[in-house]
């Protein structure tokens, strides 16, 4: 995930939106070393009967970046702890 300052986001918002749209990358925006917002791709589909967050989780590719993250827990670890 890319992280930028609010100042840079204001200066380059058009390019950032294009980057998110074209690549699906998530961009975090913050100031004073604290993240405040995420710029994510809008869902491919949108169901008006569902909440915004449900639409984002269901229809967008916002969380596809997690596929590139290492697996920290095995299924066995999860079963041992939570079952």
Which range among 12-16, 36-40, 61-65 has the greatest average pLDDT?
12-16
What's the pTM?
Answer: 0.59
- C-alpha dihedral sign at 54, 57, 61, 62: positive
pLDDT of residue 30: 94
**What is the C-alpha to C-alpha distance for residues 60 and 24, in angstroms, rounded to an integer?**
9
Look at residue 53 and tell me whether its pLDDT is greater than 60: yes
Look at residue 20 and tell me whether its pLDDT is greater than 70: yes
pLDDT of residue 60: 67
Strand segments, DSSP code E, in the chain are 2-5, 27-31, 34-39
């Amino acid at each position: 995930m890319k992280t930028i300052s609010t100042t840079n986001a204001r200066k380059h918002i058009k390019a950032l939106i294009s980057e998110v749209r074209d690549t699906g990358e998530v961009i975090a925006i913050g100031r004073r070393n604290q993240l405040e917002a995420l710029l994510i791709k809008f869902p491919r589909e949108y169901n008006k009967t569902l909440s915004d967050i449900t639409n984002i989780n269901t229809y967008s590719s916002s969380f596809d970046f997690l596929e590139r993250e290492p697996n920290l827990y095995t299924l066995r670890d999860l079963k041992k702890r939570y079952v």
